[in-house]
Structure 1
Amino acid sequence: MATTSNFRDSIKKAKNQALVGPNVINKALPYLGGGLVLTAVGTYGGLGMIQSNPTLFMPTFIGAIILQLVLFFVVRGIAERADNGIALPLLTVYSLLTGYTLSGIVYVALGTNGVGINGVAIAALGCGITFVLARNVGSNLGEEDGLALAKTVQLGIIGLFIVILLQLVLSFFGVFTPSWLEIGISGLGVFLFVGASVVDFYILPRAYRDEQYLSAALSMYLTYINLFVFILRLLIAINSRD
């Protein structure tokens, strides 16, 4: 839900605005890359915890999710004020926590026949290819097309997260999503976050000033983390069909 909140606010700021931060994406990219590296470190730590002390993993996993959610709103507010000296160490912790919470799905992927380490690599490579293509497309979107695509993706992501929350609630009652439906939901997630990656390159220079580069980095970070998760979910669902 943090993703939808961030995306919605960015679109609201970008409406009917010319470029306010023409260099904000270039400034954000090193921090995006650093955040993703830290996320990989956090994931490695989570996988180590699962293997060495699985009974302790779940309570720490829940704690990490709660702290991650709180940190998101704190960091977003600080970054939007361009208090970068304060925001940066908090973003570092946020990235590590995100990696820890990702270790669960990565562990499942590693243990799924037909996915494994190759599937994790494919998901990461897919994010990289998406970034290159999205930068070329999104940077050249016109005003009308950019806002139309942004609104479409925004509504789609909101609907997607409502479905995911419903999945979570039903799972508590022992009702699990059939594999064919999980494939459809995961495929939709991949499609929407590919669209969000294109929208980022249109929206962010209109939503954030150059000195708000950490806000832009956070927005792109959330896009690619979610894209990675949905690619993995799709690969797991495809290879776990009944």
Structure 2
Amino acid sequence: MANTSNFRQAISQARGQSLVGPNVIANALPFVGGGLVLTAVGSFGGLRVLGTNPQLFMTTFWIAIVAELALFFIGRGVALKGNNGAALPLLATYSLLTGYTLSGLLYVALGTEGVGIGGIGFAALGCGVTFIAGRQIGSNLSEEDGMALTKTISLGIIALLVAIVGQVIFAFFGVFTPSWLEIAISGLGVFLFAGAAVVDFFILPRTYRDDQYLPAAMSMYLTYINLFIFILRLLIAVNRD
């Protein structure tokens, strides 16, 4: 969910601008793909630890969460300064840790009847289809429509973040989200991050130069990881209902 701030910054930078990085997305895509591969590796490792030593996993999970957040902000800051050589290993480690923390959700999906490995594959396929559609739509948006969509998606993601924080707080006190509300929140997340995929193809070339491919890659990576998470959450919620 860290790309909420990315949207607000992108809006202010991109308003009224023509393309400043027409090739930035093409330059970023190999790093997006590499990050997703590292995330898969981290997820596999997390599932192995979770299956053999759940207590160790829970301890390392919280450590990984803290390290993941720190690496995101540090790596993004370094990348924005143009130091891609220093930022790349930080962001690679971030991708691995993201996969490790994601393995808990994957474990639940694998253990949910009607989801399993097929549901995980469906979520990944959904991200791929969204990428293709988002590229076609976002690259052809007018300035007015693109900025309007960006603002709408940005506000929606902020609202979604508030709802998720509320979920966590209530769960801490033993009040868990009813299934119908979990379905609604997950469905909203799928809708918003599908929209974010469209926004990426509109706004990133107006925000980043061609040599700023790592910050652009981070934005796209976050979009597809969050989309994958919410598709999987929706599948789990529907099959548990």
* TM-score, scaled relative to structure 1: 0.98
Letter in 2 for 1:57: F
Q: State the SS of the aligned residue for 1:22.
A: coil
* Alpha-carbon displacement from aligned partner over 1:148-185 (angstroms, at most 9, x marks no partner): 00000000000000000000000011101110110010
Instruction: Give the residue type in structure 2 aligned to 1:70.
Output: A
Classify the secondary structure of the residue corresponding to 1:210: coil
Q: Percent identity?
A: 68
Unaligned runs of 5+ in 1: none
* Alpha-carbon distance in structure 2 between the residues aligned to 1:74 and 1:22: 26
Which structure 2 residue ranges, 5 or more long, are not aligned? Answer: none
- Alpha-carbon distance, 1:3 to partner: 2.1
Q: Summarize deviations over 1:45-89 as a string: whole Å, max 9, x none.
A: 000000111110011000101111011111111111121101111
Match of residue 240 from structure 1:
240
1:188 matched residue in structure 2? 188
Q: How does 1:1-242 map to 2 (within 5 A)?
A: 1-241=1-241
Q: Distance in 1 between matches of 2:13 and 2:79?
A: 15
Q: CA deviation at 1:6?
A: 2.0
TM-score, normalised to structure 2, is 0.99
Give the CA deviation at 1:28.
0.2
2:100 and 2:76 mapped to 1: Cα distance?
Answer: 20
1:3 & 1:105 partners in 2: Cα distance? 20
* CA shift for structure 1 position 7: 2.3
What letter is aligned with 2:159? G
2-structure distance, mates of 1:12, 1:163:
25
Task: Report the Cα distance in structure 1 between the residues aligned to 2:70 and 2:171, rounded to whole angstroms.
Answer: 25
Greater mean deviation of Cα atoms: 180-189 or 7-16: 7-16
Equivalenced residue count is 241
RMSD: 0.7
